Amino acid sequence: MIKDLIQFLEQFSKEERRNQIFQVASHRTRYLTVVLEDIYQTQNASAVLRSCDCFGIQDIHIIENQNTFNINPDVVIGSTKWLHLHQHNQEDNNTRATLCKLKSDGYRIVATSPHQNDVNLDDFDLNKGKFALVFGNEGKGISDIVKEEADEFMKIPMVGFSESLNISVSAAVSIQHLTNKLEKSTIDWKLSQTELDELYLEWLRKTVKKSELLIDEFNKRNNTHF
């Protein structure tokens, strides 16, 4: 029935727009997800979200322990409209709860920080399964809890005097490099057909004028509920 609704809504969308939506959706992935722990600078937070959209990351997990996550609209320039933001702020310890949930969903927890057993970005093994990249906040980096829960550690090799990159730069470099490697690999990194249909429909609803009224009409005709 979801395909019937898609076909119905497509009547009210220009072909060029539909093609663009489908092309972008077909490059989305959940093989890699991004976790932001306690980010407090809106510009950094927003820049990471924009990078995720640019490079095809659909899900971003936002951990709020001490700091509230805020977005700068001048930086994201609408990119959050196309992302799924999962905010974690209901537990006493949102970091551990989030990472445990991701592990139960089959994700490797990969801390983006130098560590005794770390691996360089270029040597990171994509074939071991889907993974969640965890980025810490601007002051302290990743927390001790992330270090405890991490399955692996990854770093960006550097040869300058500076020991670290700004979080938004670090995220952009890591995400671009890893998604590029994924696209060139034989790994099944794309959304399933069901996920692709659901995302395409979600975006159609956002772009078709008066889509909710149209969907109400579709539901009445077909005795369905979307």
User: Does residue 39 sit in the same domain as residue 151?
Assistant: yes
Q: How many domains does the chain have?
A: 2
User: Does residue 225 sit in the same domain as residue 143?
Assistant: no
- State the number of CA atoms in the 13 A half-sphere of 216 facing the CB: 4
- Tens of pLDDT, residue by residue, the chain (226 residues): 899 999 999 999 999 999 999 999 999 999 999 999 998 888 888 999 999 999 999 999 999 998 888 888 888 888 999 999 999 999 888 999 999 999 999 999 999 976 677 899 999 999 999 999 999 987 788 999 999 999 999 999 888 887 778 899 999 999 999 999 999 999 999 999 999 999 999 999 999 999 999 998 988 898 888 8
User: Does residue 51 sit in the same domain as residue 124?
Assistant: yes
195: containing domain: 1-28+190-226
For the entire predicted model, the pTM comes to: 0.92
Quote the pLDDT of residue 7: 93
User: Does residue 2 sit in the same domain as residue 83?
Assistant: no
Burial 121-160 (b: 16+ CB within 10 A, else e): beebeeeeebbbbbbbbbeebbbebbeebbebbbbbeeee
Q: Rounded to 5, what percent of the chain is helix, strand, coil?
A: 50, 15, 35
Residue 173: CATH number of its domain: 3.40.1280.10
Cα separation, 3 vs 193, in Å, equals 11
Residue with tokens 């057993």: 117
Quote the pLDDT of residue 91: 85
Bridge partner residues of 88 (DSSP): 63
User: Does residue 106 sit in the same domain as residue 216?
Assistant: no
User: Does residue 22 sit in the same domain as residue 64?
Assistant: no
User: Does residue 34 sit in the same domain as residue 141?
Assistant: yes
Residue with tokens 């489908």: 22
Residues 85 and 119 sit within 8 Å (Cβ to Cβ)? no
Cα separation, 126 vs 110, in Å, equals 11
Quote the pLDDT of residue 115: 67
Residues 37 and 95 sit within 8 Å (Cβ to Cβ)? yes
User: Does residue 122 sit in the same domain as residue 182?
Assistant: yes
User: Does residue 5 sit in the same domain as residue 53?
Assistant: no
